Amino acid sequence: MEYTVVCRNLSKVYRQNSIAVQALADINLEISKKDFLCLSGPSGSGKSTLLNLIGGLDLPTSGDVSVDGIALATLDRAALARLRLTRIGFVFQAYNLIPVLSARENVEFVMQLQGISAAERRTRAMDILKEVGLDGLEDRKPGELSGGQQQRVAVARAIVSGPSLVLADEPTANLDSKTAENLMQMLVQMNAEHNVTFVFSTHDKLVMDFSRRLIKLHDGRIVEDVRRG
């Protein structure tokens, strides 16, 4: 079995003043290629922390994470950025689009960092924006788009450069139920068509319902790991 993500004995302790808070404890986890996986659990259970460690946005206190067989602990800041650039897409709860760039420029951003030519960037960006239903809105700035539209731009940006893994932290939290369902259907389709592994962190039952694998966390530990479908 080929794994996109492997976590071994992963722990994370946050220190707030002199108090140590165990956010994750001894997590062992393998995520297969093309998986559509949801991390769930109450607030403070460690889902976002685990997502951040998998994405190399934060460093574990102990243990190892590898993505596509590359151990993140061996990489410096620049190499981690390079890994995220080439292999990982992110979708954040707060959309996190770049406000001074248009929807198309936001989608092109990662491709620009990858050194893809302007013509190809434009073509791919327009194609993916059409795919997420934003045809005709490509020149709008994030402030001129609705929450759902912004989240679609964020998804398009995460997908367009062909990552092997997309990490989405509460992607539906700020969306109404109809928009959220549309978004999840779109992600399922992309999972199938683009061979991308999706890992969600969420409280949203809708996202859990769409997922093929559900991992429940409690107090920083995996308490349930269910495969469906």
Partner 1 sequence: MQIYVPLLVTLAWRNLWRHVRRTLLILFALALGVWSMVTLAALTRGSMEQQLTSAFANLIGHIQIHLPGYRDDPVIDHRFAEPAGALRDALDAPDILAWAARVRVPAVVSSEQESAGITLVGIDPARERGLSFLANAVKEGRMLMDADDPGIVLGRKLAERLETALGRRVVILSQDSANKIADRGFRVVGIFDSQPEMIETAYVFIGLAQAQRLLRMPGAVSEIGLIAPDRNRLDAPLDRLRAAAPQLDVQPWTQIEPTLKLTESVTDVILMIWYVIVFVAMSFGLVNTLLMAVFERTREFGLFQALGMPPSQILGQVLVESLFLLAVGLALGNLLAFATLAATADGIDLSAFAKGFEMIGVSPMLYPMLKFDDALSANLLVFVLGLAASLYPAWRAARYVPVEAITRT
Residues near partner 1 (CB under 8 A) are: 52, 55, 57-58, 77-78, 81-86, 88, 90, 92, 96, 98-101, 105, 109-110, 112-115, 157
Residue 19 CB, nearest distance to partner 1 (Å)?
18
Q: How far is the CB of 125 from partner 1 (least distance, A)?
A: 14
Q: Least distance from C-beta 144 to partner 1, angstroms?
A: 15
* Region at 91 (left for phi over 0; alpha for psi -120 to 50; beta for the rest): beta
| Residue with Cβ nearer partner 1 (55 or 63) | 55
Taking the least distance from each CB to partner 1, the nearer of 86 and 179 is 86
Distance CA 115, CA 47 (A): 33
How many residues are present in the chain? 229
- Taking the complex as a whole, the smallest distance from the CB of residue 226 to partner 1 amounts, in Å, to 27
Q: Pick between residue 36 and residue 109 the one whose CB is nearest to partner 1.
A: 109
Minimum distance, C-beta of residue 108 to partner 1, in the bound complex (Å): 9
- Residue 98 or residue 226: which is nearer to partner 1 going by CB? 98
Q: How far is the CB of 195 from partner 1 (least distance, A)?
A: 20
Of the pair 31, 107, the CB lying nearest partner 1 is at 107
Q: Which of 155, 118, 149, 116 is nearest to 135 (CA)?
A: 149
Cα 6 from chain centroid? 16
Of 70 and 101, which CB lies nearer to partner 1 in the complex structure?
Answer: 101
Hey, what's the torsion of the CAs at 60, 61, 64, 67, to 10 degrees?
Answer: 0
Angle CA 26–37–225, to nearest 5: 50
